[in-house]
């Protein structure tokens, strides 16, 4: 795909500063550039590259004031990162162009495919499954019995969606995601063994959800594990049975959420966070990376850190003291040596 700076500005609601007819055919990193590419300046730390980049076009914020001449044609936009999102979606559309149903795909006669659905080679669509219009199913995808997938879905290679699960409209599911695997349910027995508890529920994923590669979402024991609309999940996340994640919550990689926990709307959860089961997390909660959450959070908008997780400000104050402990121990030892033995005693 090749577009002029003028066409890009129209697409991104931006203003061109430079040559409006210069052509670009692909995006690039600002430090790498290249003739015929478009890059962006979203972080002030990279400003020096704006003056040296060999890219043909650079996206900048409306208020950007260059300190040196910029060789590239600039497109000024209100929000650089949102503009990049639109841009990459348009460049990516050509890569994910529909191919139709591959002769190597296996689509059961009892499955229903909407208009313009594509199914890649060696993918399987089981009986009773339904796929909405304009959805793109890559190669080696498995869609189980009675699975329902909405419109404009994009499933990357290796995705597995097991029986009876429901996926909404405009969802993107990256490579090797497993949706609807059994929840981790076992009953301890008197002899020390464990009896498996059948997991008969489903996974329900609402509209506009994106799920990163190798993430696993377990089906409910009964009822549904629910991912509400607008949720964004990173790679390598484990979501256990009967969890509910509120709309527009974002979760970074390697986070694990134990069974039956309810997470509110618009939460931000950092990488490698561990969340215990049967908790309730208030709307807008922010969890710093590697936090260990063992209790419910009732105050909306609270930021927490550490293990066990406490308020982020409280954690940072405690950490300052923690770093000083070796020095404090030496000072305490010195004071004890200066104190006569008869005056030393343990605190009450």
> Given the DSSP bridges, would you call strands 57-61 and 37-40 parallel, antiparallel or unpaired?
parallel
241 is catalytic: yes
Distances in whole angstroms, Cα of residue 45 to Cα of each of 31, 59, 99, 118, 257: 12, 15, 42, 42, 34
Looking up tokens 């000024």, which residue turns up?
A: 76
Distance CA(37)–CA(96), nearest Å, equals 20
Copy the structure tokens of residue 47.
Answer: 């400003």
Distance CA(22)–CA(242), nearest Å, equals 53
From the list 108, 241, 278, 312, the catalytic residue is 241
Nearest to 117 by CA among 163, 165, 87, 105: 105
Copy the structure tokens of residue 321.
Answer: 């003291």
Distance CA(209)–CA(217), nearest Å, equals 13
Question: DSSP H helical segments within 14-98, as ranges?
Answer: 47-50, 80-95
Distance CA(26)–CA(92), nearest Å, equals 10
Cα atoms in the 13 Å half-sphere on the side-chain side of 188:
2
336 membership: H or E segment, kind and range: helix 312-338
Distances in whole angstroms, Cα of residue 98 to Cα of each of 3, 152, 157: 21, 11, 14
Distance CA(165)–CA(183), nearest Å, equals 14
Under 8 Å CB-to-CB from 174, ≥6 apart: which residues?
A: 156, 159, 210, 211, 212, 213, 215, 235
Looking up tokens 């949102």, which residue turns up?
A: 82
- Residues marked active site are found at 241
């Amino acid at each position: 795909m090749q577009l002029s700076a003028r066409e890009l500005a129209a697409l991104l609601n931006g203003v061109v500063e430079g040559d409006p007819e210069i052509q670009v055919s692909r995006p690039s990193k600002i430090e790498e550039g290249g003739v015929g590419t478009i890059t962006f300046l979203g972080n002030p730390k990279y400003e020096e590259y704006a003056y040296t980049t060999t890219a043909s076009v650079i996206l900048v914020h409306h208020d950007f004031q260059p300190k040196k001449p910029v060789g590239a044609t600039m497109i000024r936009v209100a929000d650089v990162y949102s503009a990049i999102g639109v841009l990459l979606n348009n460049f990516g559309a050509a890569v994910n162009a529909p191919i139709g149903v591959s002769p190597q795909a296996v689509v059961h006669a009892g499955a229903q495919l909407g208009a313009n659905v594509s199914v890649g080679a060696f993918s399987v669509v089981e009986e009773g499954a339904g796929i909405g219009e304009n959805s793109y199913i890559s190669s080696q995808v498995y869609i189980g019995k009675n699975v329902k997938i909405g419109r404009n879905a994009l499933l990357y290679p290796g995705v597995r969606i097991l029986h009876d699960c429901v996926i909404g409209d405009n969802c993107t599911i990256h490579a090797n995601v497993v949706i609807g695997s059994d929840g981790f349910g076992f009953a301890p027995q008197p002899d020390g063994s464990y009896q498996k508890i059948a997991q008969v529920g489903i996974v329900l994923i609402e509209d506009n959800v994106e799920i990163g590669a190798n993430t696993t979402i377990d089906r409910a024991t009964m009822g549904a594990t629910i991912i509400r609309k607008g949720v964004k999940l990173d790679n390598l996340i484990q979501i256990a049975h009967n969890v509910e994640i509120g709309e527009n919550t974002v979760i970074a990689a390697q986070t694990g959420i134990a069974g039956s926990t309810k997470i509110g709307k618009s939460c931000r959860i950092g990488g490698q966070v561990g969340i215990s089961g049967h908790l309730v997390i208030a709307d807008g909660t922010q969890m710093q990376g590697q936090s260990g959450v063992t209790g419910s959070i009732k105050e909306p908008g609270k930021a927490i850190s550490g293990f066990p997780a406490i308020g982020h400000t409280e954690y940072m104050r405690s950490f300052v003291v923690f770093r000083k402990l070796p020095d404090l121990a030496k000072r305490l030892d010195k004071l004890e040596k200066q104190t006569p033995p008869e005056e030393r005693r343990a605190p009450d």
